[in-house]
């Protein structure tokens, strides 16, 4: 069964801390892995990863994919209260661009 597993399910840190969110997957015919940030509304796109070992970076956020070990991590350095959100990992797989399976998400709470 195709699946995407995220850990931890929730995390509470203080401003300035660095966090690492994990996403592992088992799918047939992997195409890409995506990270989304969901605050109170809809998910917003962060990164798409297709190749192993190439870090994607946007400000304090960065992500990397390991296609051999079937996982990805999302790092957030110098966290701020505005980083509080649910971070979703999704994997695009199969023969169609619409096959997208999401993990349950990691709820990050950043305390002042």
CB of 96 to another protein, least distance (A): 6
13 or 46, CB closer to another protein?
46
Q: Does the protein bind another protein through residue 42 (CB under 8 A)?
A: yes
Question: Which candidate, 21, 1, 2, places its Cα nearest to that of 100?
Answer: 2
Looking at 8-105, which runs of residues are DSSP E strands? 10-14, 19-26, 30-38, 44-49, 56-58, 61-66, 71-76, 85-93, 100-102
- The answer to whether residue 58 forms part of the interface with another protein (CB under 8 A) is no
**The 3-state secondary structure of 62-81, one letter per residue:** EEEEECCCCEEEEEECCCCH
Q: Which stretch binds another protein (CB under 8 A): 14-22, 27-35, 60-68, 73-81?
A: 27-35
Among 35, 92, 106, 108, binds another protein (CB under 8 A): 92
Q: Which residues bind another protein (CB under 8 A)?
A: 31-32, 34, 41-45, 48, 50, 88, 90, 92, 95-105
């Amino acid at each position: 069964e195709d699946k995407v597993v995220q850990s931890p399910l929730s995390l509470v840190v203080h401003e300035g801390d660095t966090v690492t969110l994990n996403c592992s997957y088992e799918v047939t015919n992997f195409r890409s892995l995506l990270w989304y940030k969901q605050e109170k509304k809809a998910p917003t796109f962060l990164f798409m990863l297709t190749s192993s070992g190439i870090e994607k970076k946007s400000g304090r956020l960065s992500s990397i994919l390991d296609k051999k070990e079937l996982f990805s991590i999302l790092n957030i350095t110098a966290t701020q209260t505005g980083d509080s959100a649910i971070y979703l990992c999704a994997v695009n797989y199969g023969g169609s661009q619409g096959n997208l399976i999401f993990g349950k998400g990691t709820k990050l709470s950043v305390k002042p």
